[in-house]
Amino acid sequence: MKLQVLRGPALSGKTERLMSEMMLAHEEGPLSYTFVGPSAELAANFGERFAQAVNGAIPSGNFLTLEKLAGDLHRFAHPEQVFLSRGVLNLLVAESLQDLGDEDLGVFAPLRGSATLAHHAAEAVWDLLMRGEAETSKILGPEREAFDLAARVKKEVDGAFENGLFDLSDAYLKFEPDEVNSYVQDRYGTRLFADGLANLNEAEMVFLSRLLPLFQECVLTLDPALWDPRGLEEFLTFLEDKGIVADYLECRPENEPLSKGLDSFLMDGQPSPGSDLSDLVSVVSHLDPETEVLDICREAKRLIVEEGIGPGDISIVVKNPGMRGREFLGALEDRGVPARLEGEESLLESKVVQLLLLPFRAATSGYPPELILSLLDHGFGGDLVASSRKLERLAASAGLLLLSPKSDLLAARRRWGTRLDEHLSSLRNKRILLSRDETILDIEIEALDREAELCQELMSRSEELFEALEGVEHANRHGGLEEWEGEFRRWIDLWETRLSKLTGLEDEKFALRRFWEVLLRQVLVMEELGRRDLKLDRFLALLQTPLSMEARRSVSSKSDVVEILSPALAQHRYRKVKFVAGFNDGLFPERAANPLYKLNEFYQKRAREERARLRGALCTSSRVVISYPKASREGEPLVPSLWLYRMAGLNPVTKEGKDEVEPAPLKPPTPMSTKELKAQYGLFLARGGRLEVPEEFHQIVEPLDLWTDESRFSCKIEDPEICRSLVGQNFSYSKVRDFKSCPFNFFLNRVMGIEEPDAESFDLSPLERGLAYHGVLKSLYDEAQKDGRSPSEFAMKDSVEEEVEKMVARFVADQKIRARDAVRRSMVRAIASDIIGYLNFEASDPIKACIGARVLTELPFSIELCQMKRMLPLSGEKYADLVLRGRIDRIDLAVQLKKGNLDLVVSDYKSSDSNAEWEQLRLYTLVLLALEHPEIPASLKSMRAFFRRIRKPGISKVLVVHPSEKRMVQQRSRPKCEPDFSDVDLELLDMLDSIFETRQFHRSDLLEGSKVSCYFCPFKIGPCMMTGEGGSN
């Protein structure tokens, strides 16, 4: 056996020399060699590079890790044994901790059930298996408690291996070359190549020393900087002791300062003399993380367009791809740059795997309503047209989230269906009530209808979901491993069918296949351990660890996209340009610890591993840009990584003038997409310039020329006919009031029909409270007049609460908390108390309350303005076809006062004075004078209008009307006001002209002299911001 060791520092050409030797072997026979790397990622990427070098097919199955090779050889020699993964080993460690007595656990006895202790103990047991007792004892520290605990747990775990199982330490330490000699020659060839191996533990060194003699020729690379000095010496001595003689070839770097800089980065202390990384690495700072994302993506696009670098030759390295990487992905896609996010996500983090586990987790949790809702939202039982937000809102309204958090499937199904049925009935009753109210908008009725349709659809989908869960429930109650395997297979088939109809989900399809493989392995191991009757919750716990250790995606081959990845993945990928983003302290390095280990050595070991990954990322690139933000998005100062001071020739820098807004470049990079072209063109327009665009693109950008500072959001409907059509012919006082309050809100709500976002409330909304007041008072007055008695005689607590209960019952399903009996009773008592207080006010002083001999309640009206020409000649003539609709709350006839009598009193119920407006009284007075009602005298001599307060019983804003003189007097108003009918006519005409002729719907805070606040406006965040102006209030 001939062993050649290529030894040298970073960038010394070791890997290239090894690849040349492999190319010679490939020419002699494509199946005559095997490549071994420290990770599957390195092996796959090396195979990709090698395939490009030979420009042909390679035996990709022969590019593997030392771990994979050892496992394959052990399975060949012992086909009857089943591999015990590290995930199952962790489970056995956790169970062993439960079985040990307090004396065996010692100081750790109080933490017996701690999952964290089990995780840390499993790590120590793994080191015992792989490193041996001597080395593990050193790294665990001088205190014996941690080592003794690991040794006791290992002894308990060793008993499992009597059942025909093996783990990685068995594959390494029990490897017998004579058992597989001929198999190795036939399967893996006669030549072995290895690159990147470093810091091998005792078990790996034993295996490698027995493996090398099976090959005729072996070539290894050796980078001293990657090895712990003591570990490298032990490895070389170990090979000599085994009689393996190596031929060492020293490799020299072309750029020695750069190579020294990369090697010294791994060492503790200051950079070595004569080292310099500035030829490879540059450092850039940014204002904040958002600016960093935009600048890096802009530079990546410039490299592609101006320097001709392919997207596949650019990588962006981030520490947390799952969060920060998505920001880069979105920014690159916005600029038309093809990109792909590749984190180190495990199989457990795959969305399809999470969805696959969801019904089983629901079963073990007792079908809580939150999980049932999540199942429905993700399409179990059929696709729902509603968004997640609307679905959750409906569930909250129906009180579904208040159901019992744990029950069997039958009980959960019955309660779920009952709540939905009750909610649907409540919605229908509410619709009947609102449809009778002339002031309720059609869009509110339509919204209620949509909610009822969604409720019916949800009922149907829920039934389908509960039927699908019956198999899970049966297996949960009566099943074991065989039943669980079959039930998982059924759900996997369902998901495969769904995914087969969709495109672009290769990662999820791969995840399903890998999940099934992991599941089968776990089933085999549990059967070997004699645990066929395993419960579902324990089985799911078993799956967690192996799923978290399996890769979510297959090893990606190089494609023509910008990759966004972690340092662990970047260290093995050769790319021309790499950006290392977010190079701040706390991320480089991360803070992590295992309390069973000596902290100093643990931190040093982890920090060295992280530096080695970053060094690998630097070594595999021709140009590296390291960047860091100077402050967080909230403005909190951030510190650059202290590793910058370990990098020879580099220091934290500040981009002078970066706080200033950069001027638009004279000639921007060529856009890569229509979207990017529009963005660049708009940027120039916003900065007062104009971008020269090739003639073939003029049609794309011409519409943007219309958007200038002079043509901002006009808030105007240009076509009067369109305005007439959108606004409609029907008007009410509330519609006029909305326009007066905020024309833009009127446009959004009344013209466009946009629903205001609802805020959850634990009480009745103002609309519901008003309807309750009106409905109860009408019922009491009608009953009183029927019996010839005063309504105050019905102001008994029980009778009023009974009427209030009938009204409130129509609204209690609107939001989740209100379905509770305690909350419902509280609302009923509060409204009943308000009404009783008001009725007592009428009973105590009927003259002040202006109680008439005859009372009309809830009088609806619908009258065309042409019928009001006598009162409103100008408005009635110009807008004759408009219809004024509404409802007069109460009309008292023949009212007796202290001095004289009144023919009629018009009143409107209000909770308080906050919404009591003189304009409503004036308009309703004129409407009543124009109405032809049999119970209202045709000729009125004396008349008043006011508001009746319910919460603080009394009357407010008294309007004295003189019909014969066509004038009114607003009592106690400041300043004094005595409008005549013509004033009301002019006021209404001006309002209608603003709507139909001016057609300008500005925001109230932009109107001169407006005192309306936008603070509580539900449209403030969304539509109002689109007008391009910031709210002043």
- Spatial neighbors of 103 by CB under 8 A, at least 6 apart, are none
Q: Is the pLDDT of residue 576 over 80?
A: yes
Q: What is the mean pLDDT of residues 297-326?
A: 90
Domain-ending residue, one of 135, 163, 191: 163
The percent of residues above 70 in pLDDT, for the chain, comes to 87
Note the pLDDT of residue 403. 82
Residue-wise pLDDT tens digits, 267-283:
777 788 889 999 999 99
Instruction: Evaluate whether 423 touches 397 at the Cβ level (below 8 Å).
Output: yes
Note the pLDDT of residue 248. 93
Q: Share the mean pLDDT of the chain.
A: 83
Instruction: Say if 1007 falls within a structural domain.
Output: no
Asked whether residue 987 falls in the same domain as residue 898, the answer is yes
Note the pLDDT of residue 341. 86
Across 240-254, 551-565, 862-876, 1015-1029, least confident range: 1015-1029
Instruction: Say if 680 falls within a structural domain.
Output: no
Q: Is the pLDDT of residue 665 over 50?
A: no
Note the pLDDT of residue 594. 57
Instruction: Say if 658 falls within a structural domain.
Output: no
Instruction: Say if 641 falls within a structural domain.
Output: yes
- In CATH, what number is assigned to the domain containing residue 209? 3.40.50.300
More confident: 434 or 968 = 968
Note the pLDDT of residue 812. 61
Q: Is the pLDDT of residue 668 over 70?
A: no
Across 288-297, 663-672, 780-789, 878-887, least confident range: 663-672
Q: Which domain holds residue 826?
A: 759-844
CA separation for the pair 775, 800 (Å, rounded): 11
Asked whether residue 41 falls in the same domain as residue 150, the answer is no
Domain-ending residue, one of 589, 618, 646: 646
Confidence band for 657, pLDDT divided at 50, 70 and 90 = very low
Q: Is the pLDDT of residue 582 over 90?
A: yes
CA dihedral 890, 896, 902, 903 (to 10 degrees): 70
Note the pLDDT of residue 1033. 37
Asked whether residue 889 falls in the same domain as residue 948, the answer is yes
Instruction: Say if 734 falls within a structural domain.
Output: no
Asked whether residue 175 falls in the same domain as residue 140, the answer is no
Q: Is the pLDDT of residue 659 over 60?
A: no
Asked whether residue 793 falls in the same domain as residue 863, the answer is no
CA-closest candidate to residue 621, choices 215, 139, 280: 280
Instruction: Say if 263 falls within a structural domain.
Output: no
Asked whether residue 174 falls in the same domain as residue 159, the answer is no
Give Cα separations from 739 to 83, 441, 1001, 1003 (angstroms): 75, 15, 8, 10
CA-closest candidate to residue 310, choices 672, 760, 827: 672
CA separation for the pair 994, 988 (Å, rounded): 10
Instruction: Say if 587 falls within a structural domain.
Output: yes
Q: Can you tell me which residue has the tokens 């950069």? A: 662
Asked whether residue 215 falls in the same domain as residue 308, the answer is no
Note the pLDDT of residue 697. 76
Q: What is the mean pLDDT of residues 706-715?
A: 59
The listed range with the strongest mean pLDDT (95-109, 638-652, 952-966) is: 952-966
More confident: 596 or 236 = 236
Neighbours of 31 (CB within 10 A): 15
Confidence band for 184, pLDDT divided at 50, 70 and 90 = very high
Asked whether residue 128 falls in the same domain as residue 12, the answer is no
Q: What is the mean pLDDT of residues 592-609?
A: 61
Q: What is the mean pLDDT of residues 390-415?
A: 84
Q: Can you tell me which residue has the tokens 């390295």? A: 317
Q: Is the pLDDT of residue 661 over 50?
A: no
- Angle 677-680-683 from CA coordinates, rounded to 5°: 150
Residue-wise pLDDT tens digits, 440-486:
667 778 888 888 999 999 999 999 999 999 999 988 887 788 888 88
Phi-psi region at 552: left, alpha or beta (left = phi > 0; alpha = psi -120 to 50): alpha
Domain-ending residue, one of 549, 584, 607: 549
Across 295-304, 338-347, 828-837, least confident range: 338-347
CA dihedral 682, 683, 689, 695 (to 10 degrees): -50
Q: Is the pLDDT of residue 664 over 50?
A: no
The percent of residues above 90 in pLDDT, for the chain, comes to 33
Instruction: Say if 639 falls within a structural domain.
Output: yes
Asked whether residue 331 falls in the same domain as residue 240, the answer is no
Note the pLDDT of residue 655. 47
Asked whether residue 319 falls in the same domain as residue 434, the answer is no
CA separation for the pair 501, 481 (Å, rounded): 31
Number of domains in the chain: 6
What are the two backbone dihedrals, phi and then psi, of residue 999, each rounded to the nearest 5 degrees?
A: 55, 35
Note the pLDDT of residue 662. 41
Q: What is the mean pLDDT of residues 856-869?
A: 90
**The length of the chain, given as a count of residues:** 1033
Note the pLDDT of residue 814. 47
Q: What is the mean pLDDT of residues 651-671?
A: 49
Residue-wise pLDDT tens digits, 960-1006:
999 989 999 999 888 889 999 999 999 999 999 999 999 888 888 77
Asked whether residue 835 falls in the same domain as residue 857, the answer is no
Asked whether residue 586 falls in the same domain as residue 518, the answer is no
Instruction: Evaluate whether 726 touches 752 at the Cβ level (below 8 Å).
Output: yes
